[in-house]
Amino acid sequence: MRFTPVFIAIFLSAFCFASTCGQYIFKGRVQSSEDKKGLTGVTVLADTNAVALTDSNGVFEFSSSKEKSTISFSHIGYQAVSGKYSAGQFIGIVLYSAHSFLSEIVVKAYERNTSLINMPVTVSVLGRNDLERYGNTSILPAVNIIPGVKMDERSPGSYRLSIRGNLLRSPFGVRNVKVYWNGIPFTDANGNTYLNQLGFENVGKIEIIKGPGGSMYGAGTGGVVLLSSRNAGYKENSISINTLGGSYGLEATNIAYRSETDNANYSLQYSHQQTDGWRDQTSTRKDVANYTGSFNINPKQTIHTNIFYSDLYYQTPGGLTIAQLNANPRQSRPAAGTFRSATAQKAALFVKTFYAGFAHDYQFSPMWSNSTNVYTSNTRFRNPSILNYQRKTEQGIGGRTVTQYHNNNVQIHFGGEYQYGFTSTRTFGNQSGVPDTLQFDDEIAATQYNIFLQTDITLGENFIINAGGSYNNYGYGFTRLNNRPVNEIHKTFDPVFVPRISLLQKFGAGNSLYVTVSKGYSPPTIDEIVPSTGIFNATLNAEKATNYELGFRSELIKNVLFVDAAAYLFRLNNTIVTRRDAAGADFFVNTGKTDQRGVELSVNYYPVRNSIHFLQELKLWGNYTYIKARFKTYQQLTSDFSGNKLTGTPPNVLVMGADAITKIGLYANLTYSYTDQIPLNDANSFFATQYNLLFSRIGYKMGLGKKTSGEIYLSYDHSFNEPYSLGNDLNAAGNRFFNPSAPQNFQAGVKVQFGL
């Protein structure tokens, strides 16, 4: 038989058509029951054959010759799910945590997206339940339960954050800690983080990486904070209203709309909070609007958005001497000599910020993926203070890209980050809260970038090697416009390579031991290069650090007793410390070396867990921090501070708590914390006294119909030591160290959620 070209073409077309028609498409999404977010790296098996891995958004897709298949989904730390599914339907899968405390905590640090038991570094995680154990106005009490972490509040709205004692550089604000929000840089190119502008309801999860994280998160010696937004739950479509009131004129309201569909998860919320404050000159007002969204464009692409606007105002009462503290701890800083009082100068901060971040995730194949994000920000800042009146506008742009390769036992991450900031700032005299004579008119440009590479190798099932490094480059440009001639000054720092290596050995299903060696590098921030003295300090150098760490995690009694412990040695060179001149203006200098040795311990015990009886869960827990932090070499003029205790660092902190949940919706949280004496100056001649705090909260959650739920709660915190302070001024001029805090606070709140 002779085959003509036409016959052959018809035959091939029919064959191709039959082959195409014989392929059925299966697609869907896998998410965690904990935060309802997509799970990366879930293994998808069809009739026992591995066919796909989920991408960074939990999305999968594969083709099969069968119209119906038995599909299994498995991921470390989660219970496997299996079922029979048909092609053409969107398959929505929810994976629940395995019954192991260390396995069910999934962390994103270093882009690993794995369970805590597999993390070869020290990282702590706060979920939404941890944040809501106290009054719903601030993340501060929840952050302070983490071993090795201290969050200060000098006055309502004025935050500081230190990890393992690195507080020397922060007279106010958050410095030397790199913060990301939904994977996008939130710390600006100037090195500052306006953490106080976030509303309490904006945050759904916090991960804190302790020790230098420069191998993947840019320069820094003080650690890394990864914030995640509070997203909509599985198939949620709701409006929620939370409102509360409390001591000293506290009022707060949050309204949120959250929705999740097959291809999108988004939320829109607005919050308002205000208080009169316990001390004079401590009124606070904050309004925040926030929109977050994730949209699955197709099985391979997802777009994320994060937009917020914050309007913050808080008064600053100033520090007190010990005599003023004992006479009247509620007073603001009084007039002294030629300096007027904080009240007379109407000392306060006005901060308005617009921030917009966008991210794009692309799954090239089961082995290759990329996540790229960009952001822009604009901050308008006004600060009438006792010394002067500062007005500035800060504009920032930046971005970050991470490409991942995943194949069996090898993961490789590589990418880079770039940030640029431009600040226009003017400093005037302050006449009762009104700008007076111009003192300085400055323009400051900041540029930083880094490129990084990280590799994870799993040998067998129980040994993990995690190593990475980054190349970092930083520089500033400074122009004083009211000086003649106008000259631009440049300050660049030598590029530095920052490596890290971690090894982890697992013993059985619930035990792991890890060791980490890492380098740290932290250039000064803009506010340190150009402090409140107004003098550009071109001689200030970057800090450099080396960190050695040994950690252990164990499930000592299955599903009952869990331990997480770490010991470290942290050595810092060119340490930056804050000083104050006779007028109280800040300036910064490099000292010699510091030596910080610490032990951190967390214990969680569940006498009752997942019970069907009235008491469904009872959790007893405790966290302990020990830090022996010293100036190793520190010479200031004729004074030798070598061997002195590190300023601002308490050597012992103990936090213990109990949590109970009942079948009918009643719950109770109880927390006790002890903080040791804190050295307030480098000379160690002044110390803040130790203090003991008690936090309690009781509440009742109830159903109000098929689609409506509610909650009422009461919270109370009390200090056993009066006066005490949640944040003191370090190395304060005139020995004005003390910022006393309210001895007790009471709150009552109501939450209602309406399903749509």
Asked if 97 contacts 78 with a C-beta cutoff of 8 angstroms, the reply is: yes
Q: What is the pLDDT of residue 1?
A: 42
Q: What is the pLDDT of residue 175?
A: 80
Reduced to 3 states (helix: H, G, I; strand: E, B; else coil), residue 739 is: coil
The DSSP string of 567-611 is: EEEEEEES-EEEEE-TT--EEEEE-SEEEEEEEEEEEEEEEE-S-
Reduced to 3 states (helix: H, G, I; strand: E, B; else coil), residue 57 is: coil
Q: What is the pLDDT of residue 72?
A: 86
Q: What is the pLDDT of residue 583?
A: 61
The DSSP letter of residue 612 is: S
How far apart CA 296 and CA 55 sit, in angstroms, is 11
Average pLDDT, consecutive stretches of 10 residues, N- to C-terminus, the chain (756 residues): 45 41 80 73 83 85 87 76 82 68 73 85 91 92 95 89 81 82 92 89 93 85 91 89 96 96 93 96 97 93 96 95 95 92 96 97 93 96 94 96 91 96 95 94 94 92 92 92 89 90 91 94 84 80 92 91 96 81 72 91 91 89 96 83 91 97 94 96 93 97 89 96 90 91 96 93
- The domains of the chain are located at 5-98, 106-755
Q: What is the pLDDT of residue 484?
A: 87
Q: What is the pLDDT of residue 102?
A: 59
User: What homologous superfamily does CATH list for 5-98?
Assistant: Carboxypeptidase-like, regulatory domain (2.60.40.1120)
- The four Cα atoms 456, 460, 461, 466 give a dihedral, to 10 degrees, of -20
Tokens of 151: 């969050």
| Total residue length of the chain | 756
Domain spanning 106-755 has what CATH number?
Answer: 2.40.170.20
Q: What is the pLDDT of residue 509?
A: 78
Q: Which of 37, 276, 309, 36 is nearest to 199 (CA)?
A: 309
E strand or H helix at 214 = helix 214-217
How many C-beta atoms lie closer than 10 Å to residue 603's C-beta?
A: 16
Q: What is the pLDDT of residue 337?
A: 84
Residue 752 main-chain phi, psi, to 5 deg: -135, 135
Asked if 246 contacts 746 with a C-beta cutoff of 8 angstroms, the reply is: yes
Q: What is the pLDDT of residue 511?
A: 92
Cβ neighbours for 432, distance < 8 A, ≥ 6 positions apart: 340, 344, 345, 346
Q: Return the beta strands (E) in 23-89 as ranges.
A: 24-32, 43-46, 49-53, 59-64, 68-74, 81-86
Q: What is the pLDDT of residue 380?
A: 96
Phi-psi region of 299 (alpha: psi -120 to 50; beta: other; left: phi over 0): alpha
Q: What is the pLDDT of residue 49?
A: 78
Which pTM does this prediction carry? 0.86
